[in-house]
Amino acid sequence: MNGHDVYIRGVGYHPFGRFPDTSLKVLAATAALGALDDAGLKIGEIQAAFCSNAYSGILNGQESIRGETWLRGIGLGTTPVMNVENACASGSTAVHLASMAISSGNYDTVLVVGAEKMFVNDTNRTLAALANSADTEVMGNIGMQFSAVDAIRVREMMEEEDVGAEAFEWITMKNHAHAFSNPMAQYRKPISMEQVRASRMISDPIRLLMCSAISDGAAAVVLSRKPGRGGVRIRASALTSSPWRLSADSLPGPTIAANKAYEQAGIGAADLDLAEVHDAVSPAELMHYRELGLCGPGEVASFVAERASALGGRLPVNTSGGLNSRGHPVGATGVAQLIELTLQLRGDAGERQVPGARLALAHNSGGWIGEDPAVSAVHILEKTL
């Protein structure tokens, strides 16, 4: 980004999980007020709001003015609200747009709120809503769902990287262990590799406990030209859409976004202290290791064997528990990743703290077109104080 520096001044959330009696308005308002409180700001100091949501129209019946309905009740009735919808990357897209709004000099302080209410007592309705985040003319006609797409990609990786079911079971166990101390997380109970192995097969080799669950929840950040506690700065914000794969050496979307972010930040993957990646199914985390440059092609198996991505390893990944354990209320996911990284860089992550963390990456993807996510977003945060 060019222009003014952008800092994450405050964070707030409503815990992720199933809350059948809590409205989407309450979820969003809880997160927004928490972020304002953490930033030490009053309602009147917010100059604009960016609100992310993917499925409220289908699942909750509210279209078009979602953010306005969320925030009017907490006193932001005259504040300009921009609604953002970009599949599972809606939250990170909202942060990208809000960052540009501040960097351009048009605003000094803005609020980003991501919220989703996916638990509607009808799993089929929710799964059908999720399926609409693909090219429906193509994938709808052949009946493919995201779990099938993920399974195909995972099987390809198994051949290319010489990893197997044991690695996937360990990754799932790792992230549940990380989520144990995260009060935002939907699942805070450790599980064993044996439990993962015994869970129902969804789409070979992906088992039930490897899949992110249906979630309600909200996450919010206050972005500002003024640093808050810890001086957490957005050093890079990159977004890309699904590329045309015209040759064998064409880069996947997450790699394109990561390369843009590394160039903006003037760093490489080796400079990172931790990362949050989009593990809608836990084996996908291993694919993201090489897509984001966290390890090289052919090195995934050794990276896992070293336990490098666990707390205490050389590059902890998904210290929040990731989508698999923290939960995946779609519109909130990208914002929640940045909350975890902010807490880590401020030294406020408690039992899951990565000592001395100064640079962190968040990768959030959404939808599916061709051979890639429809959108891939990568943010790099830096501790400046």
CA distance 146 to 144: 7
Per-residue pLDDT tens over the stretch 100-136: 999 999 999 999 999 999 999 998 899 889 888 988 8
Our CA angle for 213, 315, 351, nearest 5°, is 65
Take residue 204 and report the two structure tokens written for it.
């070979």
3-state SS class at 70: helix
- Residue 232 pairs in a beta bridge with 383
- pLDDT for 249-287, tens place per residue? 899 999 999 999 999 999 999 999 999 999 999 999 999
Cα-based distances in Å from 311 to 26, 117, 176, 326 = 33, 31, 12, 16
The catalytic position among 88, 178, 288, 295 is: 88
Please name which of 362, 15, 14 lies closest in space to residue 188, comparing C-alpha atoms. 15
Task: Tell me whether residue 4 is one of the annotated catalytic residues.
Answer: no
> CA 361, CA 141: separation in Å to the nearest integer?
36
- DSSP string of 163-177? --HHHHHHHHHHHHH
Q: In the prediction, which pLDDT does 254 show? A: 97
Residues of the chain short of pLDDT 70, as ranges, are 139-145
Domains, the chain, with CATH or none: 7-122+217-232 (3.40.47.10), 136-212+234-383 (3.40.47.10)
Give kind and range of the element (H or E) at residue 49: strand 48-52
- For residue 192, give the 3-state DSSP assignment: coil
What does the pLDDT read at residue 140? 61
> Reduced to 3 states, what is the DSSP secondary structure of residue 22?
coil
Output the pLDDT for position 228: 93
Residue bearing tokens 């198994």: 158
CA 275 – CA 320 distance, rounded (Å): 10
**Would you say 131 and 140 are in contact if contact means Cβ atoms under 8 Å apart?**
yes
Cα(107)–Cα(96) distance, rounded to whole angstroms?
A: 14
211 is catalytic: no
pLDDT at 142: 41
Whether 102 and 224 have beta carbons less than 8 Å apart is answered as yes
Catalytic residue among 14, 176, 288, 328, which?
Answer: 328
